[in-house]
Amino acid sequence: MMAMEGFFDAGPVDSFPRGRGRVVLIEGVRVAVFRLDRGWFALKDACPHMGSSLADGRIRDDRVTCRWHAWSFDLATGESDSKRKACARVYELRKEGDHVWLKPPPPVGQPPQEDDEWMGADPETWFR
């Protein structure tokens, strides 16, 4: 199967369980892929709060909730319900034939420096 520009083969469709997340590695980064009845979603597999796996999170409606501290993220946009405005990184996902393809998001800047609680946070967990 021919690769699509900028996309990485995440595996065959049948290797992704329905109704929960599965972790794949894309360029050395853990990505949580969710196969739900209402669609497919992919987020970086790290809650921006403390790095917990989102693939293991609780799924309800169109959100995944981190098991460590209950931060919740929109599966389509990565937006959080947190007042800190931290977002999960969203990967573009396409199904082509019987395979799932993922495209990493563009790089982002550093987190805001005025908030000491977030100093040292991984810059890949932030949007601007």
Greatest distance between any 2 Cα atoms in the chain: 48
Beta carbons of 124 and 44 less than 8 angstroms apart: yes
pLDDT tens for 2-52 read 567 899 999 999 999 999 999 999 999 999 999 999 999 999 999 998 999
pLDDT in tens, 46-82: 999 899 999 999 999 999 999 998 999 999 999 998 7
What are the tokens at 89?
């990184």
How far is CA 32 from each of CA 25, 73, 80, 87, rounded to the nearest angstrom? 9, 12, 16, 14
Q: What percent of the chain has pLDDT over 70?
A: 80
pTM of the shown model: 0.81
**Cα(22)–Cα(31) distance, integer angstroms:** 8
Hey, what domains does the chain have and what are their CATH numbers?
Answer: 9-105 (2.102.10.10)
